[in-house]
Amino acid sequence: MDNYFTPRTCCPVCGSTKNEVLHKHRFAEADDDTVKGYDVSLCPVCGLVFANNIPAQSEFDHYYEQFNKYQDLELYSWHPIHQQVFDWVTKNVHKDAIIVDIGCGPGYVLRKLKQNGYKHLIGLDTSETNCRRMESEGITTLCGSVFNVRSDELKNADVVLCTGVLEHIVDLKGLMSFIGNAVSQNGRLLLQVPTLQNGLGGKFPFENFSTEHINYFSPATLLRLLEREGFEPVECAVDEMTIFSIFQWRHDDRIRDYIADSENAIEKMLKKVDPLIGTAKPVYVYGGGTLCRYLLASTRFARLNIRAIIDRNITLNGRHIAGIPVILPEQLIENLTIIICSYFSSSAIERYIRDEIKLKCDIISLI
């Protein structure tokens, strides 16, 4: 598995060493100490395509500190990918939010957000030139790579932006751990990575197999990486250049809330029929679906004196639920109170009883 000082020899997401080499890519040596080549490999376990047999993250960090080209405002100007990030933030994030941009470069997005009233902006970048420039414009910066700045300074970010970064990182797990420390419990993570769309190889051959791009994500493999780290997707859009995605923490307490809310709602329903349970008066129940079956199996609803369950589902007719016969509406013979037990059709059933079969009985609708 990836470790800061360990060269990459396996899948950086799942650690598999049984990877299929799709292509061997080599570069002529240059003085800037960059990677000399790699094996573009497919992981048979998690599906990631990545550059295998490359130097450790520590060496890439050294390279980005020494030869960072993302500090030239003229060379790398405002780009549609910046616009996409800016548009999402201004549409979805309030101006008091803490926004952290990991690998912010010269701060294109942060500077424009500042001009638009965003107050709490933090940029992280390896370039001192970039950091100095942003500080002079009133933007807080952390200078260094995610592997050597203190992540505890970045707790509780409402939004973490990480655009054009994941494809450069040897130690993906280390990066994800840093991001995980930064994103608050209800925060959002915006990721943007290049995509390999059909036709791009014919137009710009091997452009993505650069000396810097060493991970080649699809929406599915990006999702798999994030899910392993405890995130779930909120949005994902793919265009001819990028995968643009928003993630949040996967909160298992949502299902707990759902169960608690459901239990409270069931108790409210039962309160409507409690007076009938007390008197043992015979009733009909209209609806023999999942709600009825749950109530009969798990609650005091079973103590009602139910003469029959009415259901228009012909396949239930003549059967029994909890020993109670199921009949069709036209088989109603007694003018008893009817308890409607349906998630989505209560009003339609009530109209049917009043207007079609014209019963004047009491009706209790559970929902």
Q: Contact residues for Zn ion (CB under 5 A)?
A: 11, 13-14, 16, 43, 45-46, 48
> For residues 295 and 293, what is the distance between their CA atoms, to the nearest angstrom?
5
Q: For Zn ion, which is the closer residue by CB, 103 or 174?
A: 174
* 104: its two tokens: 């912010």
| H runs (alpha helix) in 229-289 | 253-279
The full 3-state SS of 116-138, as one line of letters, equals CCCCEEEEEECCHHHHHHHHHCC
Pairing of strands 37-42, 49-52: antiparallel
Dihedral over Cα of 20, 22, 27, 33: its sign: negative
Q: For Zn ion, which is the closer residue by CB, 45 or 196?
A: 45
Q: For Zn ion, which is the closer residue by CB, 50 or 118?
A: 50
Contact 99, 118 (CB under 8 A): yes
Smallest separation, CB 247 to Zn ion (Å): 19
Smallest separation, CB 8 to Zn ion (Å): 12
Smallest separation, CB 222 to Zn ion (Å): 13
Q: For Zn ion, which is the closer residue by CB, 52 or 58?
A: 52
Smallest separation, CB 183 to Zn ion (Å): 23
Which of 264, 261, 265 lies closest to 367, judged by CA? 265
Smallest separation, CB 201 to Zn ion (Å): 23
Q: For Zn ion, which is the closer residue by CB, 97 or 166?
A: 166
Q: For Zn ion, which is the closer residue by CB, 113 or 225?
A: 225
Under 8 Å CB-to-CB from 338, ≥6 apart: which residues? 283, 284, 285, 286, 310, 353, 359, 361, 362, 363, 364
Smallest separation, CB 158 to Zn ion (Å): 31
